[in-house]
Structure 1
């Protein structure tokens, strides 16, 4: 059939991949025309009910840049070129997924970028406040870097860590819920008092989202009566859930290694 690629033909595959690079490059750079931008606010000051006024081309150019970086990374294994595209799409277009990926590059110095946790923190922060599919992951990373203090000259900032863990937890990121539980168990000399009720609340939520240690901690708290009246039945239920989740994780690891 016309238009289909014979992936057993090396020349045909090469041509297909070369065409992808041209297409994604065009979407990323050549279609970035300010004349196609559309104000999100109507001329009379009323905010539109939907974002239908945003042209499809805007979405294409932003995701085109992301696809171009994915192409350089996954197909060409050209991390330097991928990093340049990510930087462009994050800094010029504010595309959250690219900001997240650029932050990850800065964590390890991948693609020739400067290995710098402060820069990574800024990238994750920008991604967190976007609406992209990696925004919740980015919020968690902001929380992590604020929590351990490596991105702050003044050391750990528990208030900021809590803020972004809460944002990620609300978005369904289990590890953030678990970290919040740990924060409230330990407390902090800078103003966060231990609060076992809050600790249990977040451990419960982490467990609901499939976090093994969230279930284990919540089980222990119900058993001991930390932050709640003792409840042996609930403790046992959560203990069994922790065991089941642990078993699933082991099964996945075995299948992955087969």
Structure 2
């Protein structure tokens, strides 16, 4: 069947048929990618986030689709913004699942939420466990090429956590700064350049300092070009 997308009725029919195809692919064929698409369809096209959340949760629990785990956790956050504390454990559980099923955004979000959750834990041992576990998930996200996770992990290693005895680690700071820079985080490139220039935790290396400075300038140029800023030749 062909559609004329200039006709409103054809567009509506096309969208309706996509929904039918997604339902068949998910409920009959149990294809995890199609179930994810069905959830997205329910959320964005049919404007039914509650039904979408059920699909995401089921797809996570039964078919171990990492993005669906992450989307279900996101749903919990959106629907409980005014009182997040009661749903935090459930959110973290599904973000961890997302990470375990190879969704790097799940790893990053799990790390951030574990860090946030630690502020709500009065017991120092449990708080320490939450912070260190959060750092592990941030590092895992970084190793899955998540630039923001690399940068956040680098700042944690730079500052440390006095209250739990996590000392600043300049070597780890530089390691994760370099990884973040590789993934085009301009802040991390600047930090790595300064560290090598000053010899902050590592021997002075002006060649590496210049390398990371040049990388930062390249990223800055790309950002400005994307914003339409013209450079004089």
Q: What TM-score do the two structures reach when normalised by structure 2?
A: 0.83
Equivalence map 1:35-54=2 (5 Å): none
Deviation at 1:239, TM superposition (A): 2.1
Who is 2:16 aligned against? Answer: 18
Q: Residue 63 of structure 2: SS of its match in structure 1? A: coil
Deviation at 1:155, TM superposition (A): 4.3
Structure 1 residues 155, 108: CA separation in 2 closer, same or farther (over 3 Å shift)? farther
Aligned length: 220
- Output the CA distance in 2 between the equivalents of 1:151 and 1:119: 17
Q: What TM-score do the two structures reach when normalised by structure 1?
A: 0.76
- Output the CA distance in 1 between the equivalents of 2:59 and 2:118: 26
Does residue 63 (structure 1) correspond to residue 63 (structure 2)? The answer is: no
Deviation at 1:216, TM superposition (A): 1.0
Q: Answer whether contact 1:148 1:155 (CA < 8 A) is retained.
A: no
- Output the CA distance in 1 between the equivalents of 2:101 and 2:118: 23
Instruction: Pick the structure with more helix per residue.
Output: 2
Who is 1:206 aligned against? Answer: 180
- Output the CA distance in 2 between the equivalents of 1:62 and 1:92: 9
- Output the CA distance in 2 between the equivalents of 1:90 and 1:201: 33
Equivalence map 1:1-258=2 (5 Å): 3-32=1-30, 61-109=31-79, 116-131=87-102, 135-149=103-117, 153=121, 154-155=126-127, 157-189=130-162, 190-253=164-227
Runs of 5+ unmatched residues, structure 1:
33-60
Q: Answer whether contact 1:197 1:226 (CA < 8 A) is retained.
A: no
Deviation at 1:151, TM superposition (A): 8.4
Deviation at 1:76, TM superposition (A): 2.5
- Output the CA distance in 1 between the equivalents of 2:45 and 2:138: 34
